[in-house]
Structure 1
Amino acid sequence: MARQSKPAGDWIPDYCSKADLAVLFGVSIRTISDLDQRGLISRAEKRGLYLTKPSIEAYIGSLRKTAAGRTEETKSKLTDERLATERVTRQISEMKLAELRGETLTLDEVSEAWAKIASFMKTAVLALPSKARAQIPHLTAHDAETLKSLVKDVLNDLADEIEDAGGVGASPDKIKS
């Protein structure tokens, strides 16, 4: 005698509880509550019951979409990651192009240029006392030393301010007498 199967409507109950769905899906009741909040299972008119067949179909459909990467959550995360990756790639390409065109300077080039400027400024300022003594002959050696001390103090104060502001290479101990 051949075995006959019954139509789905005959052996699947129309309504079931959260606990029934949890057992049927192999998940916790909390997961069923989450699915309910996300609208993935169908509530029945009677409180605490769910439409069995539509809930099963919706749950299986959501699993298929998630597996295929077509859910809004998956799309959103993947899309955001792709956009971020493309943005960074584009920025890197723009920086490389600007560097090839000679439109940008490297940090080393800028640091080297500022170090030269600072060195020239320091040399010029430290030369002020001797230039003053040559231009003003009545200045004594003591006056020249006082000027030299004042110039060093100003340079040290500037170096301290630059160092406090986060400047590079502004150590006051590098000022020589």
Structure 2
Amino acid sequence: MLHNVSNGWFGEAATQNLASRPKAGQGRSRLRHEGREACVIGEMDKVLAHAVLPLLDARTVLFQNYLELDRRVKRAASQDAVCIRMMTVPGVAPIAALTFKAAIDDPNRFKKSRTVVAHFGLTPRRYQSGEHDNPGRISKAGDRDVRATLYAAANAMLMRTMAGSHRRRKTSLTQTPN
């Protein structure tokens, strides 16, 4: 929702050459201040200002709600021992830790870790008949949201590993032997 409102603001403001896409790190405050000033100073015509000001107000409220929810999630994860332990793994953020913990609920339900993987649909499908035994794609039988969160955490971990190996390789190539 926040993304859609921001895009709506940029679409309206771009038609009047009032704002350009913000660069990384300066977007939120620049969007808020430039947009308000443009509307108040009168650089926009009144019809456009009438359309853009509610978008800016909605974006501000949505972003404040997002920040509050983010604080609550981080606080909840930092107060739970299991989540703290899970967040020591690279790529596992508070949302991934809380999602996994909530989905597992009672760990005693699972006798083996293999059954947890099957519970979330991460095991390959089996196509068996007579002599044929072909593993297929993952079964996707479990909770879709938990599976998506686990994929995001794994992807973050892999990207961090790949970026780190690239840096190590680059520094080893640039160093001169003694």
TM-score band by shorter chain is: under 0.3
Structure with the greater alpha carbon radius of gyration? 1
TM-score by length of 2: 0.26
- Between 1 and 2, higher relative CO (CA 8 Å, sep ≥ 6) is seen in 2
